[in-house]
Amino acid sequence: MNKTMESYSMKQFVEKTGFTEDAIRYYEKFGLLEQVKRKTNGHRVYDGKDLEKMVLIKCLKKSGMPLEEMRLYVQQSAEDDEQTIAERDRILNGHKQKIEEQMAHLQTILDFINAKVQSGKKMGEF
């Protein structure tokens, strides 16, 4: 079955994404999940594209990207034309640089801690 043809209830979508119902509704209101379909009874119905978008949102969220940047990236991605490619690249490259700087900083801290452990000194001793 084609992923975009699959459909999920809110409960199934919660199970698949790991997000709470409240978080999913918030992301809808905030503009990260756009145009969610509804049944005639008003219940939300999600599809494979929504699921893929939530995987992206989860990744960006875990990496510390601010919600405003996520929304801009998701909106630019939805347009999917040549004019938005440069902006999407700018957003991701800027975020990537922040992550690389954080990783370098954490590596420095880890190296310091490892040196202390290997030398057998307590943290307060130099």
Mean pLDDT for each consecutive 10-residue tract of the chain (126 residues)? 73 95 94 88 91 92 94 84 87 96 97 90 61
H/E stretch holding 109: helix 82-119
The gap between the terminal CA atoms of the chain, to the nearest Å, is: 62
Domain 3-119 is found in CATH 2.30.30.230: no
Q: Is the pTM of this model over 0.85?
A: no
pLDDT of residue 36: 87
Question: 70 in the Ramachandran plot: left (φ > 0), alpha (ψ -120 to 50) or beta?
Answer: alpha
Helix, strand, coil percentages (3-state) for the chain, rounded to 5, are: 70, 5, 25
Sign of CA dihedral 84, 86, 89, 93: negative
